[in-house]
Amino acid sequence: MSAAGPEPESPEPAGHEPVSVRRATAADAMDVLAWRNDPHTRAMSRDTGAVDEAAHLAWFAAALADPRRMLLIGEAGGAKVGMVRFDHADETEVSINLAPEQRGRGLSRPLLMAALAEVGGEVWAEVREANATSVRLFEGAGFQLQGRRDDIRRYRRPG
């Protein structure tokens, strides 16, 4: 999954504390699973199937231990608002997933920008053509369209 579930962006959520990010911990696993299995999130993901709890918990523990992967949890006003994942390989790819109950509050761009401040260099994102909200989010955050394949747009943000 690269970009699933964000809502229309604003520079900062009106009437809310700014979004901050922190490293995910094992205590975040079930929230991330619930967000991942949200029907809208699944529809916008590369893999649209539901993720089972045991498989997710194994993946989550491995992801936390993997130095090539960074899982960040966004928080605003004392509540978790979503997750941003960076996968570092030949390229650094970003994936964002906003908590379903936080959609519509203008939090996706502040969450993404806070997370991007934690990594340096060039970052890539892949977004489904049908996910117009994520297309606007990444384009508004300085990502440039590099190409398309099937129903996926590929974006790059220079380092």
- Beta bridge pairs of residue 95: 85
Helices (H) and strands (E) in the chain, counts: 5, 8
What's the confidence (pLDDT) of residue 45?
Answer: 85
28 vs 49, higher pLDDT? 28
Q: Which residue type does 83 have?
A: M
Name the more confident of 48 and 102.
Answer: 102
Using alpha carbons only, give the angle 19, 25, 29 rounded to the nearest 5 degrees. Answer: 95
**Spatial distance between the Cα atoms of 147 and 3, rounded to a whole number of angstroms:** 16
Which range (43-52, 110-119, 124-133) has the least confidence? 43-52
Cα–Cα separations (whole angstroms), residue 137 to 16, 22, 34, 50: 19, 21, 22, 25
What is the pTM for the complete model shown?
Answer: 0.88
- pLDDT band for position 140 (cuts 50, 70, 90): very high
CATH number of the domain that 136 lies in? 3.40.630.30
- The residue that leads in pLDDT, 136 or 120, is 136
Residue 75 belongs to what domain range? 3-157
How far is CA 20 from each of CA 16, 112, 140, rounded to the nearest angstrom? Answer: 12, 10, 19
**Distance set, CA 22 to CA 37, 48, 134, 144, 145 (Å):** 22, 27, 22, 26, 28
Q: What is the mean pLDDT of residues 79-104?
A: 96
Number of structural domains found in the chain: 1
pLDDT of residue 29: 98
